[in-house]
Structure 1
Amino acid sequence: MLLRNYKIAIKLAATLLLILPLLLTACSKEETQKIRVAEVTRSIFYAPFYVALENGYFEEEGLEIDLKTTWGGDKTMTALLSDGADVALVGSETTIYVYAQGAKDPVINFAQLTQTDGTFLVSREKIDNFSWDDLKGSTFLGMRKGGMPQMVGEFVLRKHGIDPHNDMTLIQNIEYANVPNAFASGTGDFVQLFEPVASMFEEQGIGHIVASFGEESGHVPYTVFMAKQSYLTDNEEAMKKFTKAIYKAQKWVESHSAEEIAKVIAPYFEDTELSLIETVTANYKNQGSFATDPILDEEEWENLQNIMDQSGELPKQVDYKTLVNTKIAKEVMKK
């Protein structure tokens, strides 16, 4: 009898050893939540996000990030509104456009990633003592009308006493992805460019960086993580975990050098030399482009609407609390 019980115990133990890994895997899958993120473009400007991904901060929170690049604000917002994505990384102006169209399920900004414009003014000719007046009478190759880069560009020009529509020839009908090629092929005396293209053009002698729109425009919610109100309500705990991962990455970026950051995010820019990634990261870090916490504050929101208004692109004034959720970020930062 004792021998029989012993054999049964051995069989049970062996069975448990076989099924235990399966049970653990099943539990793990149940605990891990997938979040589909659509980023407006792939840019070193978003370094803290890639740090969060590469350093495993989302995994630590039990989240699996399904990332896709949607190449353009309109396409990114379409993906979010059509439930092709759960979270979007794009400019806050898009939430105002959607709200003004009478959206029943508005898109809410809940975690800020960048807090300045990310473009630079590049001149075709080398200018030793640049003045913004040098743009008067020139041909300026700008960005798409209604997008944040173009609105900030016009805001900065007006700040320096330049009417972008009368004091210069303004070109803004070229597709975003084709702007660098247009300048390289000879179009325009000046161009507004994101990194790393601005630094690449300088290295190749195609143009010369003469000013930073980010330094000139002040703090603005330039790139923010956002989601539909319904998704935030139904997935509040997951969004807290998401924001916690972002905040952890923001603090890591703040306390590490451009060289260290570049090494971490390099896998997301396989076609870019590590030295160039470091140069670009240093440019953005030095001008304070990377937000050091996920809170989008009211002053930044008002600056955004002022920039949009001056460009004639603000459909209506929207109260800060209507489209900005700081509750999640504040709770994460307290912990």
Structure 2
Amino acid sequence: MKPYRRLASFLVASMLLLSMLLSACSKDSGELTKVRLGEVARTVFYAPQYVALANDYFKEEGLQVELQTTAGGDKTMTALLSNVIDIALVGAETSIYVYQQGSDDVVMNVAQLTQTDGTFLMSREKLDDFSWDDLKGSVFLGQRKGGMPQMAGEFTLKKHGIDPKKDLELIQNVDFANIASAFASGTGQFVQLFEPQASIFEQEGKGYVVASFGVESGKLPYTVYMAKSSYIIKNKDTVQQFTNAIYKAQQWVEQHSAEETAALIMPYFKDADPAIVASAVKRYKEQGSYASDPTLDEQEWNHLLEVLDQAGELKQKVELHSIVDHSFAEQAKADVK
């Protein structure tokens, strides 16, 4: 080989090596990639997400996550579609709605956080021997039409022989963020609430948990991280790093007690009683609400379609691969130990 060719080969090899070194060191360089994350609610139901933030798992992956609460699935999806946020934590059904509308920029699900409904049925009165028939003829403060809490709730009611439209006085005109305060002020005999609000109301004597919609409605890809296809294409490394951080947190929650998890996430629930937060985490852990890894299961996906279809919200069957990208979750499971 001529000298100038050897020199050229050496320079190319050196440049490639330098590029690899710079890439490997990027996480330690202090230059973090900003990710705007919108969560549909602030709830203990999302404990692994707060663990990822508290343990600096995102920073370990080279990310600076800016979290904002965009209350309600419709508001969260609007924020994602209008580029107010980069990644949304919201019910998987919202991505199906966008797909059904024929969007050119498909919203893709990349990592699952929770795998059951997160709401509990609360009664205003203490019922020592609760029966689902107790709901017949009652005033039920429900959730937003087309949202997963309401659809999972209706799925459960029908399973127990209750027609939500005929057997209840169903109230659905209260905004998601105001449902708890509406119940506290006297609206409804029964209500669906997430934790820690359910446990707070129990402590205050404002209501009593009588059943879990998470247990009753079965496994679902209930809350999922999603992003627009255009964002994913341009930011594949960022999405992978984000998914890695979530998987680390999921493993941490799996391996630690409810009390340890509650202590770690308390900065995100500053006004809550630590004992209440621990009780809420324990409820979710015991009923298997937290997904142990980010992969969306096909059986759970088909059950989601069943729930949507029964609620009259499914225009067409949406195959898993159409709006779910498993590659990031699978890579995370391979790389994160």
Same fold (TM over 0.5): yes
Q: For residue 132 of structure 2, what is the amino acid of its counterpart?
A: W
Task: Indicate the SS of the match to 2:29.
Answer: helix
| CA distance, structure 2, for counterparts of residue 70 and residue 181 of structure 1 | 18
CA contact under 8 A between 2:72 and 2:177: conserved in structure 1?
A: no
User: 1:92 corresponds to which residue?
Assistant: 92
Unpaired runs of 5+ residues, structure 1, are: 1-23
Unpaired runs of 5+ residues, structure 2, are: 1-24
User: 2:288 corresponds to which residue?
Assistant: 288
Q: For residue 70 of structure 1, what is the amino acid of its counterpart?
A: T
Instruction: Give deviations 1:41-93, integer Å, cap 9, x for gaps.
Output: 11111000010111011111111111111111111111111111111100000
Q: For residue 333 of structure 1, what is the amino acid of its counterpart?
A: K
| Corresponding position: 1:160 with 2:168 | no
CA contact under 8 A between 2:99 and 2:106: conserved in structure 1?
A: yes
User: 2:53 corresponds to which residue?
Assistant: 53
| Corresponding position: 1:28 with 2:26 | no
Shift of 1:248: 0.7
Instruction: Give deviations 1:90-134, integer Å, cap 9, x for gaps.
Output: 000000111111100110000000100000000111111111111
Runs of 4+ in 1 over 2 A off after TM superposition: none
| CA distance, structure 1, for counterparts of residue 135 and residue 168 of structure 2 | 7
Shift of 1:280: 0.7
Q: For residue 141 of structure 2, what is the amino acid of its counterpart?
A: L
Q: For residue 37 of structure 1, what is the amino acid of its counterpart?
A: L
Instruction: Give deviations 1:240-283, integer Å, cap 9, x for gaps.
Output: 11111110100000010000001110001111111111111111
Task: Indicate the SS of the match to 1:300.
Answer: helix
Shift of 1:185: 2.0
Shift of 1:175: 1.1
| CA distance, structure 1, for counterparts of residue 315 and residue 184 of structure 2 | 35
User: 2:318 corresponds to which residue?
Assistant: 318
User: 1:135 corresponds to which residue?
Assistant: 135
Q: For residue 186 of structure 2, what is the amino acid of its counterpart?
A: G
CA contact under 8 A between 1:111 and 1:243: conserved in structure 2?
A: yes
Task: Indicate the SS of the match to 1:238.
Answer: helix
Shift of 1:32: 2.1
Q: Which moved more, 1:248-257 or 1:128-137?
A: 128-137
Count of residues in correspondence between the two structures: 310
| CA distance, structure 2, for counterparts of residue 255 and residue 148 of structure 1 | 28
Q: For residue 28 of structure 1, what is the amino acid of its counterpart?
A: S
User: 2:18 corresponds to which residue?
Assistant: none
Shift of 1:203: 1.0
Q: For residue 117 of structure 1, what is the amino acid of its counterpart?
A: D
Task: Indicate the SS of the match to 1:111.
Answer: strand
User: 1:199 corresponds to which residue?
Assistant: 199
TM-score scaled by structure 2?
0.89
User: 1:70 corresponds to which residue?
Assistant: 70
| CA distance, structure 1, for counterparts of residue 242 and residue 274 of structure 2 | 28
Shift of 1:153: 0.5
1:1-335 → structure 2 map (5 Å cutoff): 28=29, 31-335=31-335
CA contact under 8 A between 2:158 and 2:164: conserved in structure 1?
A: yes
Query: Rg larger in 1 or in 2?
Result: 1
| CA distance, structure 1, for counterparts of residue 179 and residue 82 of structure 2 | 29
CA contact under 8 A between 1:145 and 1:173: conserved in structure 2?
A: no
| CA distance, structure 2, for counterparts of residue 104 and residue 232 of structure 1 | 14
Shift of 1:28: 2.7
Q: For residue 121 of structure 2, what is the amino acid of its counterpart?
A: L
